[in-house]
Structure 1
């Protein structure tokens, strides 16, 4: 029974939904699916068949960038309808899950405390930590309170909300309720391109609640695994979550640009879906910190959202820009135009040791070099179900 519960309902500290709450979640997930199936194609046609020809007729030039079509597109009622739906169903899912956590907060508190009573890993918090403004200035992807807000002493609400939302919103798209597809993809990339690499100390940057960290720890069971994030409530929950899943991970509250670990402390330094929530300056700082933290022969590896503007249609570019303009992901558009190779070289890595490209997502460890494309999909488009990966050796 316990194995069935873990497989179908999550780990011991995962918030659960009652009948009415689950019905509400399913309703708005269905609205999301309906919008994707029915409205996305119409909005794409609106752009390609109405907006682009209109701009071309007016200016004599066909637009090639989403910035050239945004004003005209957003003035059209059909696109406004698409925008409204896209924001509405997401906000309602956040609200539904938040209410479910309110209902069971005391019960969850007891479960969290029980999981960390005899920990295999550890948790180190720093109440004096200065949160980078690119994290503290807004609620990322419209998550109420974002990652850092404490609502009570010893709070874990942000972690519980993020964990439940990720397993709900990304249902069956990123590893099911574990939401660990990125972690398995990262581990597969490392095992593929560095087959003789046996890391003994691993650091996961911007770990949130440890979705990817646990998968990485499982991929390298002989390694001592450390993870950091700036959000105390994320870490409290992540620590309990990892303990519930049997993963001995050492969590600490730190800024990924300026950690307190010594030079050359790690064999593998990595991150999953962190860079698109990081400013351009912050990204450069993180790469430099990775270089400092790695021993000679160590490996840096980052996986993140895959959009690259040079590989996308105008509508796909607009869809990426939507995240920046309306979904509190302000750096996603700039990341889609960032030269990751240059950032790595500027951080001190040698060009011959840097790999940048699309990595096909996997829910399990499946090293396969044929899943990696440096120029995007062979047909000239971004790979569906992929991540963008950058790895380098020091």
Structure 2
């Protein structure tokens, strides 16, 4: 199986070094950058004001350079993820293409990827997560160090599920997970709640194949991974209790985000809950400056348009009346004012379809 793909000491040492550098960037350089910003004084109104203020600051320059090149090293360096696992392409592909129960996977051989999705190597992942048959496998490994402050990466998905289930109530029978990737966000719903019918929607066939293999390993009976666009899933109208997504909205243009909100409303039963976890910065020019910089450095150009969107109005335009935007605590203490390390501006966008 592809989980038996060999690693070696040079590869492990290289990736451990990159992760340690990322933690140093997170815990040491980011707080120092904030101190340098505070020492500047003034009252900037926007992230652009902060960018202008910090343009000649060497710590700010190093902060940006370090982030950009650490991500590059992680994937494309001499012992980067994409480089290392390309040497084991045949073994990985054989595992990914192994037969799974038909109920688990629905790949559309005629599916046409949206242009925005194919135009950029998102996350600096070479070729994106869709164009290479082993891309989903590489992406899964890359995700393990995306947010290094999260000790147990799976806990984030568990927390999203808990928030969704608390709001939807005890009678949840169907969940649709939009932009499910390699299935990490879908897993808590189907593995921990076998009575729930779960559908994962994703553009990338390589990611879907990995998600289906993971579900087969878990002997899941209640999940389907389907290739479709999140704004046009082809699923039945008014049949879902929960529609969710995790870190998907910031990877699509505003026109598609609005389409996702409309599709979420269409899929939900009356009283059903839409819950999207993503990144929003509000009323903090410094955090906006860092977030917009990350957007450019990590090849994620739609982060900025999402942050500028009126997501409340977009939900109302989609038919929702009851909408809330709340901070999300990805690990215990993440929202504590004493937490000075860098973290994504995790935010839950929650809406309920009128009953």
TM bin, normalised by shorter chain, reads 0.7 to 0.9
Q: Indicate the residue corresponding to 1:8 in structure 2.
A: none
Give TM-score scaled by structure 2 length.
0.87
How many residue pairs end up in the alignment? 347
Q: Could you tell me which residue of structure 1 aligns to residue 218 of structure 2?
A: 245
- Output aligned runs, 1:108-127, within 5 Å: 108-114=92-98, 117-119=99-101, 121-127=103-109
Q: Answer whether contact 1:303 1:390 (CA < 8 A) is retained.
A: yes
Secondary structure of the residue that 1:168 maps to in structure 2?
Answer: coil
Aligned partner (choices 49, 52, 57) of residue 68 of structure 1: 49
Alignment of 1:1-394 (within 5 A): 13=3, 17-50=7-40, 53=41, 62-95=43-76, 96-114=80-98, 117-119=99-101, 121-150=103-132, 155=133, 157-171=134-148, 173=150, 175-176=152-153, 180-196=154-170, 198-248=171-221, 249-305=223-279, 307-310=280-283, 312=284, 314-351=285-322, 354-361=323-330, 387-394=346-353
How far, CA to CA, are the matches of 1:187 and 1:38 in structure 2?
32
Deviations 1:7-39 (A, max 9, x none): xxxx96475532211000011111222223332
Distance in 2 (alpha carbons) for counterparts of 1:14 and 1:282: 38
Cα 1:358–1:252 change in 2 (3 A) is: same
SS in 1 for 2:324: strand
Deviation, 1:173, is: 1.0
Moved over 6 A (4+): 376-379, 381-386
8 A Cα contact 1:182 1:303, kept in partner: no
Distance 1:42 1:294 in 2: 46
CA shift digits 1:170-227 (9 cap, x unpaired): 3561633xxx33321221112223333x222221101110111011223432011111
Indicate conservation of the 8 Å contact 2:2/2:91, yes or no.
no
In structure 2, the residue matched to 1:366 is none
SS of structure 2 residue aligned to 1:225? strand
**C-alpha RMSD of the superposition:** 2.9
Unaligned residue ranges in structure 2 (runs of 5+): none
SS, match of residue 309 in structure 1: coil
SS at match of 1:26: helix
Question: Does the CA contact (< 8 Å) of 2:156 and 2:331 recur in 1?
Answer: yes
Distance 1:297 1:382 in 2: 38
Distance 1:91 1:245 in 2: 33
In structure 1, runs of 5+ residues without a counterpart are 1-10, 57-61, 364-370
